[in-house]
Amino acid sequence: MILPCIDLMDGKVVQLVQGRHKALEADAPEVMVQRFSAFREIQVIDLDAAMGRGSNEDIVACLASQAAIRVGGGVRSAERAHRLVEQGARKVIVGTAAFNRAGVNRGFLESVAQAIGRERLIVALDSRGGRIVVKGWQEATELSAEEVLSLLEPYCGGFLCTYVDKEGMLSGTDLEWFRRLRRATALELTAAGGITTMDEVRELAGLGINVALGMAIYTGRLSLDELAALDRAS
């Protein structure tokens, strides 16, 4: 599956470089969701909520009523996850709250899985320098994606794995990292971060990994028509 990304900040669709620097603003959220209508599913991330500085809840609810979306960013309670599903979100992505000082936050994950169903829960394993990063990618943990996959499997239906080192840089991603992750779990994997060429997209799709795309489509490096055709064929 190919998933175009809508990242929200201050009510606008944006693209960031490595989660820190805003590189561009796109058209209004409702325009972008229509532009991506040929795809089976769209990934929506509320960056303000992820960074703990507000939210774009009304926009997310509006998009969920218009398209098949998976939503992440600032989901820190089972109630919030359940509300997103009630609003129409197909799946819910959790990141920061999935971890605590002891490692995996099992109690939180159990409560979310019970509230929305394990198959709807995606855990974000956003990684920089080999370590999982949280709180809008601003803080690093001591954990690696590879070592926590098996611990997280009982609570979720899949993983969103972002290679933050190359996020938004249009310089390619680390395909070997994604190969290692694919070997480590049979659950759904979605790759993100630095994916720039159709060769990379096809390689990941051939591994049975979903591909979430942002900067490469917003800058026109990748063709939406070609991606949509690949999405339909996969």
Cα three-residue angle 7-10-13, rounded to 5 degrees? 30
Rounded to the nearest integer, the mean pLDDT of the chain is 94
Residue 20 has pLDDT above 80, yes or no: no
Q: What is the pLDDT of residues 170-192, one digit of tens each?
A: 889 999 999 999 999 999 999 99
Residues 165 and 97: their CA atoms lie apart, in Å, by 22
Q: What is the pTM of this model?
A: 0.94
Residue 3 has pLDDT above 90, yes or no: yes
Look up the domain containing 204 and give its range.
Answer: 2-233
What is the pLDDT confidence band of residue 18, given thresholds at 50, 70 and 90? confident
Whether residue 33 contacts residue 73, with contact meaning beta carbons closer than 8 Å, is answered with no
Task: Give every CB contact of residue 17 below 8 A, 6+ residues apart in sequence.
Answer: 23, 167, 168, 169, 215
Q: Is 199 exposed, middle or buried (0-12, 13-18, 19+ CB in 10 A)?
A: exposed
Whether residue 164 contacts residue 127, with contact meaning beta carbons closer than 8 Å, is answered with yes
For residue 45, the domain's CATH number is 3.20.20.70
User: CA torsion angle for 165, 146, 183, 170 (degrees, to 10)?
Assistant: -10
Whether residue 132 contacts residue 140, with contact meaning beta carbons closer than 8 Å, is answered with yes
> How many structural domains compose the chain?
1
Active site residues: 7, 126
What is the pLDDT confidence band of residue 135, given thresholds at 50, 70 and 90? confident
